[in-house]
Amino acid sequence: MNIVYTDNNATTRVAPEVLEEMMPYFSDLYGNPSSMHSFGGNVGRKLQEARERVADLINATPLEIVFTSCGTESDNAAIMAAIELNPEKKHIITSAVEHPAVKNLCAHLETKGYTVTYLPVDREGRLESELLYSTMESKADDIAIISLMWANNETGVIFPVEEVARRASDKGILFHTDAVQAAGKIPIDVKASGVDMLSLSGHKIHAPKGIGVLYVKNGIKFPPFLKGGHQERGRRGGTENTASIIGLGKASELAKGHLGEMDTRIRGLRDYLESELLARIPSSSVNGERRDRLPNTLSIGFDAVEGESILLLMDQVGICASSGSACTSGSLDPSHVLMAMKVPFESAHGTIRFSLSLYNTKEEMDHIIEAMPPIIEKLRAISPFWKK
C-alpha cells in the first residue's frame, strides 16, 4: 500500500539532494573540522558553507548561527541564556500554546522561583496581546525574556512576531521566537523582524533529525548552554555533527528556493483538502484563524468522534496525520493548544491535523478526500455523542 504522508509538522523525509550531500561525511570525509590537518580543515570549510546557507534562509550573517542538536535544545538554550544574563530578572513571558520545548521549561522554571505569564489566545488561536503590552509597561525591568512561537505547530496560526519584537526592543527586553514550524513555510527575515534569538530544527525542513539552530543576533551576549570546547565560537561545546550540519545547509538552500511553491501549490492543495472535507463531512470545522496561517497546515475537527479512532482507520488506508489530543502524555484530553483556544470539547476531541510538504500531490489529496467521509460516518454510527 502506498503511504500518503501528511504529518510533516511532526517530521519530514530527508530530501534526496540532502542525503546525497551528507553521505561522504559519514565515510571518506570523517575529519574533525577543528583539526590542524587539511583533511579536517576541508570539512571545516564545508561547515562554513552550510552556515552561510542556513544564514541565507533567515537573512542572518553566518556568525549569528549556532548549531545545536534540535529545536528543543535551541529553545532551552535561548531561555536559559537570558536568565543567566539577567539573574535579577525573575519574570518570563510566553504564550499558552507554545511547544513543550518552551512550555515545560517554563513550568520547570516556575518551580525555581520564576514567574511566568502565559499569554492567552482567542478562539481563533490569535495572540491576545493586551496582557503582553500591559505587562511590558508595568514590569519591563523584571522581564528576563519574552519567548513566543512564530507559528503554531498544531493550527499553523502565525503570531505577530515583528510587532512584539519591535516593542520588546523599545523596552530593552530580550525577545526569542521558536520558528521551528515557520521556517521553510513562510519567509523569515531576522533583520527585518528584529528578533534577538530564533530557533530552527532540521527535521522539519527535510534535513535529518538531531540537528537544530539557534540564531543569536550580533551583539547579544550568549553564555553557552552546553559548556565544553571552543566549537561554535565558544557558544556550544561538542564536536560538530558534521554530516547533519551539511545536510541542514543543503535543506536550507532548497527550502528558500521552494518558498514560492509552498505559498502557491502547497497552499492550493491544503485549501482544496480543507474545502472538500468541510463540504463532504457535516459538523466539521477548522481550528484557528484561516488567513494568517502556515500554507501547509490544516487542523480540522469532526464532531462526536474521537481523534485516535479516526487515525487508526486512516492508517488502514495508508494515510498518516496527527490528532489534536495530548496523546504524548498518555491522556486523551484535547491538546493544550485546543484547550487554550476554547475549542468545544466535541470537536477538539475529533481533531485531526494534516500537514503537507512539497512532496504531496493532488492525487494524494483526492485519496484523503475520498477516504475521510466513510471513516467519520462509520465512527459516528457507533458514537453515543452523535445525535444528528
Q: Is 180 in the site for ligand PLP (CB under 6 A)?
A: yes
| Residue given cell 561545546 in the structure block | 237
The residue at minimum Cβ distance from ligand PLP is: 71
Q: CA-to-CA distance for 146 and 74, rounded, in angstroms? A: 15
Question: Catalytic site residue 70?
Answer: no
User: How far apart, in whole angstroms, are the C-alpha atoms of residue 100 and residue 229?
Assistant: 29
Residue 284, CB-side half-sphere exposure with 13 Å CA sphere: 24
The continuous run of DSSP H or E covering 38 comes out as helix 38-58
Query: Which residues contact residue 133 at a Cβ distance below 8 angstroms, ignoring those fewer than 6 apart?
Result: 167
Q: Does 72 bind ligand PLP (CB under 6 A)?
A: yes
CA 125, CA 140: separation in Å to the nearest integer? Answer: 26
Query: Which residues make beta-bridge pairs with 198?
Result: 177, 215
Identity at 196, one-letter amino acid code: D
Of 207, 239, 248, the closest CA to residue 31 belongs to 239
Give the one residue of 178, 253, 274, 306 binding ligand PLP; rule: CB under 6 A.
178
Q: Is 208 in the site for ligand PLP (CB under 6 A)?
A: no
How near is the Cβ of 202 to ligand PLP at its closest, in Å? Answer: 7
CB of 76 within 8 A of CB of 105? yes
Of 193 and 284, which has the nearer Cβ to ligand PLP?
193
Q: Which of 22, 109, 149, 251 binds ligand PLP (CB under 6 A)?
A: 149
Q: Pick from 8, 94, 147, 153 the residue near ligand PLP by CB under 6 A.
A: 153
Of 75 and 253, CB closest to ligand PLP: 75
CA distance 251 to 205: 6
Residue 322 interacts with ligand PLP (CB under 6 A)?
no
Stretch that binds ligand PLP, among 32-40, 69-77, 289-297, 341-349 (CB under 6 A): 69-77
Shortest distance in whole angstroms from residue 156 CB to ligand PLP: 11
Identify the residue among 70, 78, 93, 127 touching ligand PLP (CB under 6 A): 70
Q: How many CB atoms lie within 10 A of CB 361?
A: 12
What would the x/- binding string for ligand PLP be over residues 212 to 251, using CB under 6 A?
x---------------------------------------
Is position 103 an interface residue for ligand PLP (rule: CB under 6 A)? no
Count how many residues are written for the chain. 388
Q: How many degrees, rounded to 5, is the angle at CA 85 between CA 79 and CA 89?
A: 80
Total interface residues for ligand PLP by CB under 6 A: 14
68 or 129: whose CB is closer to ligand PLP?
Answer: 68
For ligand PLP, the closer CB: 67 or 302: 67
Residues that bind ligand PLP (CB under 6 A): 70-72, 75, 99, 101, 149, 153, 178, 180-181, 201, 203, 212
Catalytically active residues are 327
